[in-house]
A and B are shown apart, each in its own frame.
Chain A
């Protein structure tokens, strides 16, 4: 719970006040925290691409949105990221559980893991890769950076960082 709490605290410190998720077991604790947080909006959403649209609307309505998802969700969202969030220069934080990184027990997750950073790089999305607890302190500044550069940004949280966060 310590890791999840630290991530949410830093996102809130960065100004994020609107959260969506397409669940992942590595995000479960963060979802629990957000469901009980009366200061921010939280909802699950069926598909990441749809979530990108909801985040765009939330930004237009003066919220600072974050969508939490597995890295697989980036694959589902490429056109929405490019022809909505980037076209209109909308700051949105992607909080990504980085499935398929070392420690991952499901071999099939490896495929998207191998190309996740390449996709983000191709999309020119700033990345913060967190593999240890001390790196989580960078999340608040990194979130604020999304607003400064008016762009989506991606925070990748490794499997091994999240897996023992009981």
Chain B
């Protein structure tokens, strides 16, 4: 199973939640599978999906899923400490760990060598850390959303590999405005 297959399997869960999706192919693949106003596609700032999702979860009550990658979490590893200490129960970090920098040509990351993001997350203070296969991810993500008392970090171990795909044909302000409109009660617009 690669990222595209996994996102396909998750689309019915994702459509009912606020989703922050990582820059590059993850966002492009998600857009191709099922575009929704409650999906925030990152067009820049690699590494910050988990952080954007955390800020969003702290600011309103709907459940937030940050879709991140192993390469991106390695770039912003302090995020796991902030999540371990501050994440509210409406927050799930889903790390799609394919051991490679998918958007840049599938170069290997350190999770394909010695680094375990599960161990890093546990050491950083995250309590509910699940490492699972792509097939198990649907079930684990549902459990995380249903648990109203705890936040989760799910590390979904899948194969590398991408599908041929175009850039997202939405401008950033469109992505921003329809996302904020979906949340409602736009105070500062």
Are both chains from one complex? yes
- Mask of B33-69 contacts with A, CB within 8 angstroms, 1/0: 0000000101111011111111111111000100000
B57 — which chain A residues lie within 8 A by C-beta? 57, 61
Complex CA–CA separation, A79 to B86 (angstroms): 24
Q: Is A55 an interface residue (CB 8 A)?
A: yes
Give the bracket for the number of chain A residues in contact with chain B: 35 or more
- Mask of B55-97 contacts with A, CB within 8 angstroms, 1/0: 1111110001000000000001011011000100000000000
Q: Is B165 an interface residue (CB 8 A)?
A: no
Complex CA–CA separation, A46 to B124 (angstroms): 12
Complex CA–CA separation, A72 to B50 (angstroms): 23
Option from B55, B86, B186 in Cβ contact (under 8 Å) with A58: B55
Complex CA–CA separation, A30 to B149 (angstroms): 31
* A62 with B55: CB separation less than 8 A: no
Name the distance in Å between B113's Cβ and chain A's nearest Cβ: 24
Complex CA–CA separation, A18 to B58 (angstroms): 10
Q: Is B13 an interface residue (CB 8 A)?
A: no
B173 — which chain A residues lie within 8 A by C-beta? 88-89
* A91 with B188: CB separation less than 8 A: yes
**Which parts of B131-189 form the interface with A (CB within 8 Å)?**
172-173, 175-176, 179-180, 183, 185-188
B117 — which chain A residues lie within 8 A by C-beta? none
A18 — which chain B residues lie within 8 A by C-beta? 55, 58-59
* A46 with B78: CB separation less than 8 A: yes
* A63 with B78: CB separation less than 8 A: no
* A88 with B172: CB separation less than 8 A: yes
Contacts A43-B86, A50-B82 given: A83-B44 contact, CB under 8 Å?
A: yes
* A58 with B81: CB separation less than 8 A: no
Option from B56, B81, B86, B188 in Cβ contact (under 8 Å) with A57: B56
Q: Is B30 an interface residue (CB 8 A)?
A: no
A58 — which chain B residues lie within 8 A by C-beta? 55-56, 58-59
B179 — which chain A residues lie within 8 A by C-beta? 60
* B44 with A82: CB separation less than 8 A: yes
Option from A41, A49, A61, A84 in Cβ contact (under 8 Å) with B183: A61
Q: Is A56 an interface residue (CB 8 A)?
A: yes
**Which parts of A74-88 form the interface with B (CB within 8 Å)?**
79-80, 82-84, 87-88
* A83 with B43: CB separation less than 8 A: yes
B45 — which chain A residues lie within 8 A by C-beta? 52-53, 56, 79-80, 83-84
Q: Which residue of B lies closest to A57 (CB)?
A: B55
Q: Which residue of A lies closest to B186 (CB)?
A: A62
Option from A60, A63, A87 in Cβ contact (under 8 Å) with B44: A87
Q: List 26 A-B contacts (CB under 8 A).
A: A43-B86, A46-B81, A47-B76, A49-B48, A49-B76, A52-B51, A53-B52, A54-B54, A54-B55, A56-B51, A57-B58, A57-B59, A59-B55, A59-B188, A60-B52, A60-B180, A60-B183, A61-B55, A62-B59, A62-B60, A62-B183, A62-B185, A83-B45, A84-B44, A84-B52, A88-B175
A18-B58, A53-B50, A56-B52 given; name 12 further pairs at CB < 8 Å: A41-B58, A47-B78, A50-B82, A53-B45, A53-B76, A54-B58, A58-B55, A60-B40, A61-B58, A62-B186, A84-B44, A84-B52
